[in-house]
């Protein structure tokens, strides 16, 4: 299994799960049940949910997500420690970055 994408919230995760099921793409959601126990901000190493797919389905799954989310950032494209595309961890939590939206980003 290869890490594919971290949804921004629960509704996006449910939507993507339904797309994968409709297209017959097998997937696994890392922290799917455990991450739901702790509400609030998603922190990468604590409760963030990650969609994983078998390597042979990776490109198909990536194309499916891009067909509905033009600005999606995938796990293989993320830099480490840049704090973008999700929570960077405890420092973002303590500095209250999770409380305020990033400038220039529109909520959809």
User: Could you state, in order of their start, the residue ranges of all structural domains in the chain?
Assistant: 2-99
* Per-residue pLDDT reduced to its tens digit, 44-101: 666 778 999 999 999 999 999 999 988 888 888 765 444 444 445 566 666 665 555 5
Q: Which pLDDT belongs to residue 95?
A: 61
CATH code of 2-99, in short, is: 3.30.70.790
pLDDT at 13 over 80: yes
Element (H, E) at 37: helix 34-37
32 pLDDT band, cuts 50/70/90, is: confident
66 Cβ partners below 8 Å, 6+ apart?
A: 72
108 pLDDT band, cuts 50/70/90, is: very low
């Amino acid at each position: 299994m290869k890490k594919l994408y971290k949804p921004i919230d629960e509704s996006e995760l449910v939507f993507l799960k339904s797309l994968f099921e409709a297209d017959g793409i097998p997937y696994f959601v890392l922290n799917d049940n455990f991450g739901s126990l702790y509400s609030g901000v998603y922190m990468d190493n604590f409760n963030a949910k990650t969609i994983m797919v078998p390597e042979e389905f990776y490109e198909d799954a990536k194309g499916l997500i891009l067909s509905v989310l033009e600005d999606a950032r995938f796990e293989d494209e993320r830099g480490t420690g840049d704090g973008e595309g999700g929570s960077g961890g405890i420092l973002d939590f303590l500095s209250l970055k999770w409380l305020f939206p990033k400038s220039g980003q529109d909520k959809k």
